[in-house]
Structure 1
Amino acid sequence: MTGTTGQNADQRTEPTAEQATDRAAATNGRVWLITGANSGFGQALAEAALAAGDTVVAAARRPETLDDLVAAHPDRVLPVRLDVTDPARITAVVADTLLRYGRIDVLVNNAGRGLVGAVEEYTERELRDLMELHFFGPAALTGAVLPHMRARGTGAVVQMSSMGGRLSFPGVGAYSATKFALEGYSEALAQEVAQFGVKVLIVEPGAFRTSFAGQGALAHTTPIAAYDSVVGPVRTGLPAADGKQPGDPVKAAAAILAALDAERTPLRLALGNDAVDALLDHHDAAVKELREWEATGRGTDFDA
């Protein structure tokens, strides 16, 4: 296969079934489908997969932003236009990938964005749009690839969550809500598909040097002055820290590949000292509170 530039990524000639079979046999390594592959963790994972000799179907809303990646690996990168909130496009991209390569070995649900604001500040539209992007889109993509992975008896689904998928703090309630939903869905999924040889990996990064908090990448609600003392520091602190975050996306991608290759892939993988510390503290506090109220909780059953 020759590389296709972003500008004509939607005008490719579809292979015949015979050509698809030949391509599947000739494709070495794994075939990855990565959303949001043009920046941040998505780009780092795409580059790590390519360095390992794999093939990447790199999805982005603007596939022309993938031109440099395609130019560097013209035979192993397929750029595709994909907005994960478009169910019809999800179906088409998965079908096209299976036709071209005969398989999808790893799905990475990475596309996303931030939203900062107090709970009272969010509009219903903002909440619904973020849930479409972080939950319903990944759920649709996962559902589209699962029948194929289940039939083959192998595969992996990587859900890019956040340490905010297990804890939250002022200003990120909507973001955390979407990641909490994704993690609950994925925890059940992992137990359902393990019998078919399919892995599920939930990745929980802390602050990494990606474009997540960059200018124009982080959305904000309309502020209510009453919340300035608790949300204000988050609203200004996240953009101010952009480019100074301690986490290295390249090392994160290497850790994710190592987890996928492990004999026992973890369900959750916290990345970054800040994430590990915060999650350990959160776990200890949750256990302490549970113990303090254990007797009350146990006293609510019917008397024997």
Structure 2
Amino acid sequence: MTTWLITGCSTGLGRALAQAVLAQGDNAVVTARDVSKLQDLTTEFPTTALALALDVTEQTQVDTAVQQAEDRFGAVDVLVNNAGYGYRAAIEEGDDGDVRALFDTNVFGPVAMIKAVLPGMRSRRSGAIVNISSIGARICPPGSGYYSASKAALEGLSGSLQKELKPLGISVTVVEPGAFRTDFAGRSLTQSAQAIEDYAETAGKRRKENDTMHGTQPGDPGKAAEVIIAAVEAAETPAFLLLGADAAYAYGAVEEAQRAEVDHWREQSVSTGYTE
């Protein structure tokens, strides 16, 4: 029986994944800052679900959650770093304190979780780490620069981590979802207090008061959860996984545009070496 530790399970993809994991008979350590939102899971799955209060920016809570998970189920086999939130602002509009808080949750929180579970995974020479990123890391929409940067940082870290851990029998997967019908564009989306008029036609169009996407996103979190489980359980776990037709299309479009620009500048790019 596999034991999953999933952060950010109160709603959305985290909750859908927790429900799918428990429904297939695995153990799940389900976490949220407000543990009361998880009680229905422990009621339905009293022997296989462990609900814990967890703020990933608090090191003591991180260490305690991993210890409690290991005490209850013996080991953490799969860590899913799902907890996170969005932040909308033009780069000039971003508040320094807000941006640091964003990175504390979206980057340094996952790092703390990874460091906490790795000693056990290394000792067993097995395990899986799933880091939930966003297609935003690739398409970098106006108004989402700081959020995109936080997810790009998580992806860069994951790429190196994957190479470090693969020889030890531990997989690392970056998941880039597109738009899924979760609370991301609602409760989980914040924005700068300041709005500069010069950005009204770029970043301004994506401020919460102008965004009509919430509740109409094309992605189904339940289906996404099933794909994540399949990826973790695959004989060759992918290092990179897109979720959603919109993400797949956007990835291809960005890749094509970047390739065209690289090819256009290739001669100049390779001309920069010393000549004898």
Do Structure 1 and Structure 2 share a fold, with TM-score over 0.5? yes
Shift of 1:72: 1.1
Equivalent position SS for 2:217: coil
Residue of structure 1 equivalent to 2:31: 59
The alignment status of 1:219 with 2:181, answered yes or no, reads no
CA offset digits 1:39-84 (Å, max 9, x no partner): 1110011011011110111111000011111111111111111100
Residue of structure 2 equivalent to 1:15: none
Equivalent position SS for 1:240: coil
Q: Give distance in 1, aligned partners of 2:266 and 2:211.
A: 41
AA paired with 1:218?
L
* Cα contact 1:38–1:60 (8 A) shared by 2: yes
Q: Compared with structure 1, are the counterparts of its residues 237 and 259 closer, same or farther at alpha carbon in structure 2 (3 Å cutoff)?
A: farther
Q: Which runs of 5+ in 1 are unaligned?
A: 1-28
Which of 38, 47, 71 matches 2:19?
A: 47
Q: Give distance in 2, aligned partners of 1:104 and 1:239.
A: 39
Residue of structure 2 equivalent to 1:193: 165
Which of 237, 243, 248 matches 2:220?
A: 248
Greater than 2 Å deviation, 4+ residue runs: 236-239
Shift of 1:91: 1.2
Moved more, 287-296 or 102-111: 287-296
* Cα contact 1:213–1:238 (8 A) shared by 2: no
Considering only aligned residues, what root-mean-square deviation do their CA atoms show, in Å? 1.2
Residue of structure 1 equivalent to 2:207: 235
Counting only pairs closer than 5 Å after superposition, residues 73-84 of structure 1 correspond to structure 2 as: 73-84=45-56
Moved more, 53-62 or 224-233: 224-233
**Structure 1 length-normalised TM:** 0.88
Q: Give distance in 2, aligned partners of 1:208 and 1:155.
A: 27
User: How many matched pairs?
Assistant: 275
Equivalent position SS for 1:85: coil
Counting only pairs closer than 5 Å after superposition, residues 72-151 of structure 1 correspond to structure 2 as: 72-151=44-123
Shift of 1:231: 1.5
Q: Give distance in 2, aligned partners of 1:292 and 1:239.
A: 36
**Structure 2 length-normalised TM:** 0.97
Counting only pairs closer than 5 Å after superposition, residues 292-303 of structure 1 correspond to structure 2 as: 292-303=264-275
Q: Give distance in 2, aligned partners of 1:72 and 1:244.
A: 29
Q: Give distance in 2, aligned partners of 1:110 and 1:175.
A: 14
Residue of structure 2 equivalent to 1:71: 43
AA paired with 2:198?
A
Shift of 1:237: 7.6
Q: Give distance in 1, aligned partners of 2:11 and 2:210.
A: 18
